[in-house]
Amino acid sequence: MFYNASDAKLYGYRTILEPLVNDLNMLADVGIDIRTTRYHGNIKVALGQVVGDNLGLNGVLGFTEGFTANHFCRRCTIHRNEAKTCLSENRLMMRNREQFVEDLALNNPQETGIKLDSPLNSISNFHVTSNAVPDIMHDLLEGICPLELKLVLKKLISDGHFSLTTVNSRITSFNYGAPDSKNKPTVLTEHALIHPDGCTGQSAAQMWCLMRHISVILGDLIPEENRYWDLILVLLDCMDIIFSPLCSLQDCIYLKHLISDNHNLFLQLFPERHLKPKHHFMTHYPNAMKAVGPLKNFWTMRFEGNHNFSKRLSHITCNFQNMGKTLAFRHQLALCYKLLANECEKKTDTEVGPGSSVLVMSLEASDLLSDELHIAMHDDVYVAKWCKAFGTEYRPNVMVVVAKTPVGDPVFGKVCHVVVTENVVVLVYEQWDTNGYKRHYHAYEIAPHQPRSFGLCAVGNLIDFHPLHAVQPYNGFGHLISLRYRIL
């Protein structure tokens, strides 16, 4: 639903959200009768979690919307002065339904952090104190990551390890590869380093790309065991778990200690500063993962991308009398087009790019192809320049994770050919050896297997579906590859 922010302030959230609350209660109590050729029955839907950015969630859930408030956190009742040095979550301060009712009766937001009774509490089997999901995109990629990165780079520059010109030249000239070609970060300005709390000039996707590669970009210029560089490495360790699509109980416990180490090191290295509210929100991540699972499933990145349609439309439309109605109508038209054009189903299919039919015997690993696919050497197969499976593109020269070593390290393969058969897309890859994890670079050191050997892997059988890129560090030794997240 669309509504104007000014209307919410004038009439209140209860009036604005009343139609939505009624619909959700109807879905939970009555449900929807569905009758198709495949299914006949009644489906009931319950509200589990409300996802959004910190400011929007605090407003809709009834908490104070200013993060300079005494009690700004929607998960606990910690005071802002305590949060400035708090390293981990205090279970005794966690909000619950009974305490929420008592604090609401006090009608004192300065002492409780609760401004109003959220209309969402009227929804069956839901209460705002059980809403555990954080906003990892804004907390990390638009908050903690740029702050700590700029502070560390400023210190390393002042210590003479490199200059800002060197940093920017390496950022612009670094080979990010096909997987990150659309998210190349921009250069850093001197003003950004002087004022680290200000805007970074990077989008969230650009900041994620920069953080994943910054250790390879600058690692050879920084001495081993540098404490300021260690702050970045610990933050990257946290991000490996936070952005992972899978998590275990052990990961939650380990993440709790990593977050505590990051916050403690931050306070030691920069004693003139204190922890920001987004630092405090991180302390709730481990228990949020225990409650709802991997946090990336609830991040706002895709919602922010979807908002671009409304943002562009609001700039070009000539009707400003009822913008909400205009945007809602155009959204309905766009959805109608996608349904009629079957665009909603395209991402579940395999999209194959241009290519050519070649003899099996003319390809590398022809013996393997013949044995595994049960085709003769003189038969033709279609070799594509690229293919997309579930929206992810694969092409020659990208790296994929094809297996894991006995100690749990990923095994990589360099794609040589994308072979398309009648039933499946098969990647012919050159095998690479994993020589170990280099913590100073936050990357795995890899090398081509000797003697040269090949393997086959269907796209659906990859250990991780994200293609990666291997780069040669500036010191010229070996190849390094940075993961997007921790692979279990």
Task: Give residue 377's pLDDT band: very low, low, confident or very high (50, 70, 90).
Answer: confident
Distance CA 307, CA 301 (A): 10
Mean pLDDT, residues 350-357:
87
Mean pLDDT, residues 299-321:
85
Task: Give residue 348's pLDDT band: very low, low, confident or very high (50, 70, 90).
Answer: low
Q: What is the reported pLDDT for 89?
A: 94
User: Which carries the bigger pLDDT value, residue 329 or residue 200?
Assistant: 329
Residue 92, number of CB atoms within 10 A of its CB: 7
Per-residue model confidence as pLDDT tens digits over 52-106: 999 989 999 999 988 889 999 999 999 999 999 999 999 999 999 999 999 999 9
Distance CA 38, CA 244 (A): 34
Task: Give residue 400's pLDDT band: very low, low, confident or very high (50, 70, 90).
Answer: very high
Q: What is the reported pLDDT for 279?
A: 96
3-state secondary structure of 417: strand
* Structure-derived torsion over alpha carbons of residues 326, 327, 329, 333, reported in degrees to the nearest 10: 130
CB 301, CB 204: distance < 8 Å: yes
Per the DSSP assignment, residues forming a β-bridge with 419 are 383, 426
Q: What is the reported pLDDT for 93?
A: 93
* Structure-derived torsion over alpha carbons of residues 273, 209, 470, 347, reported in degrees to the nearest 10: 150
CB 210, CB 180: distance < 8 Å: no
Residue 302 has pLDDT above 90, yes or no: no
Residue 3, C-beta contacts closer than 8 angstroms, at least 6 positions apart: 16, 324
Domains of the chain, start order: 5-131 (no CATH), 136-298 (no CATH), 304-341 (no CATH), 350-481 (2.30.30)
Mean pLDDT, residues 400-407:
91
Lowest mean pLDDT, pick from 192-196, 241-245, 347-351, 480-484: 347-351
The H or E element containing residue 314 is helix 301-316
3-state secondary structure of 187: coil
- Considering only CA atoms, which of 259, 221, 295, 245 is closest in space to residue 87? 259
Full-model pTM: 0.91
User: Which carries the bigger pLDDT value, residue 2 or residue 284?
Assistant: 284
Q: What is the reported pLDDT for 4?
A: 83
3-state secondary structure of 454: strand
Per the DSSP assignment, residues forming a β-bridge with 42 are 33
Q: What is the reported pLDDT for 391?
A: 82
CB 455, CB 431: distance < 8 Å: yes
Mean pLDDT, residues 376-394:
88
Mean pLDDT, residues 183-195:
92
Task: Give residue 344's pLDDT band: very low, low, confident or very high (50, 70, 90).
Answer: low
Q: What is the reported pLDDT for 343?
A: 63
Distance CA 169, CA 18 (A): 54
Per the DSSP assignment, residues forming a β-bridge with 455 are 429
Q: What is the reported pLDDT for 347?
A: 52
Q: What is the reported pLDDT for 379?
A: 85
Using a pLDDT cut of 90, give the percent of the chain over it. 67
Q: What is the reported pLDDT for 38?
A: 85
Using a pLDDT cut of 70, give the percent of the chain over it. 99
Alpha helices in 341-467 (DSSP H): 366-373
Per-residue model confidence as pLDDT tens digits over 105-162: 999 999 999 999 999 999 988 999 999 999 999 999 999 999 999 999 999 999 999 9
User: Which carries the bigger pLDDT value, residue 448 or residue 375?
Assistant: 448
